[in-house]
């Protein structure tokens, strides 16, 4: 079975631009979460979506937004890019949000570089 | 709020040495605990998990025991291999939330032949 897939793999943008990152969850998984991993740090939670509704949001500015589609895939959008947005963006999927012990399965991420 | 503290790396070992990576946490309620591993250029892979006190998670020779009294979840392996070289992340998922993960900063493990 296919794992979590993310696209693109790498992306280079300049300050002020906008970017859209895409994620397809594992088949049968209804929950998608997004994390930002700055070099040398652990991932930081950005958003969680379940059944197309936002179920959780981390401490990120309103420049960050996301949505989930009927097929459970998801997009993360970042507007007005800053140099500090350079990071690896990870998508994770799980069966659902009702239980904290359900493991999340991660994709390989999108490496975003801001010039 | 929830937080995870890991020992700083890098941890440098020779092949077949014993590994311990310390992890302690702060959380409300009774979180689930996880260890993830990240190989260069890749995403995170779930290594093992424990969902309640005294549970022991194990996988590929790695083990960790959920110690509520010391709020710890230390990762151990009896004999490391060169292929175990990676960054290891301790994480928790609070039962009071939506199963989102709070991660430590990660510990790099370097194993030499």
Measured CA to CA, the distance from residue A72 to residue B23 in angstroms comes to 34
Mean pLDDT of A85-99: 86
CA-based nearest residue to A90, from A15, A32, A12? A32
Mean pLDDT of A82-98: 89
Mean confidence (pLDDT) of chain A? 92
Distance from CA of A82 to the nearest CA of B (A): 23
Residue A97 has pLDDT above 80, yes or no: no
Residues of chain B found within 8 Å of residue A42, distances taken between Cβ atoms: 4, 89, 91, 103-106
Measured CB to CB, residues of chain A less than 8 Å from chain B are 4, 31, 33, 35, 40-45, 48, 50, 55-56, 58, 90, 92, 94, 97-109
Measured distance CA(B5)–CA(B23) in Å, rounded? 6
pLDDT of residue A98 exceeding 70: no
User: Which of B9, B31, B35, B44 to mutate: most A Cβ within 10 Å?
Assistant: B44
How does residue A3 score in pLDDT terms, banded at 50, 70 and 90?
Answer: very high
Output the pLDDT for position A16: 97
pLDDT tens digit at each of 113 positions of chain B: 889 999 988 999 999 999 999 999 999 878 999 999 999 888 899 999 999 999 999 999 999 999 999 999 999 999 999 999 999 999 998 766 567 899 999 999 999 99
Predicted pLDDT at B29: 79
Residues of B in contact with A98 (CB under 8 A): 99
Other Cβ atoms less than 10 A from the Cβ of B89: the count is 26
pLDDT (tens digit, 9 = 90+) per residue, A7-19? Answer: 999 999 999 999 9
């Amino acid at each position: 079975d296919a794992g979590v897939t993310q696209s693109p793999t790498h992306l280079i943008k300049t300050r002020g631009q906008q970017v859209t990152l895409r994620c397809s969850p594992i088949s049968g998984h209804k929950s998608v979460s997004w994390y930002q991993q700055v070099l040398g740090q652990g991932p930081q939670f950005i958003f969680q979506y379940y059944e197309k509704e936002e179920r959780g949001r981390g401490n990120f500015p309103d420049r960050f937004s996301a949505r989930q589609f009927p097929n459970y895939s998801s997009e993360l959008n970042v507007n007005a890019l800053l140099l500090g947005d350079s990071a690896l963006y990870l998508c994770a999927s799980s069966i659902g949000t009702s239980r904290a012990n359900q493991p999340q399965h991660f994709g390989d991420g999108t490496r975003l570089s801001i010039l | 709020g929830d937080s995870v503290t890991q020992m700083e790396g890098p941890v440098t070992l020779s092949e077949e040495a014993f590994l311990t990576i310390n992890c302690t946490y702060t959380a409300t309620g009774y979180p689930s605990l996880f260890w993830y591993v990240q190989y260069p250029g890749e995403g995170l892979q779930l290594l093992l998990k424990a969902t309640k006190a005294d549970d022991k998670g194990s996988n590929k020779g790695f083990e960790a025991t959920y110690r509520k009294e010391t709020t710890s979840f230390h990762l151990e392996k009896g004999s490391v291999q060169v292929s175990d070289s990676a960054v290891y992340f301790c994480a928790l998922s609070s039962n009071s939330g939506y199963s989102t993960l709070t991660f430590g900063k990660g510990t790099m493990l370097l194993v030499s032949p």
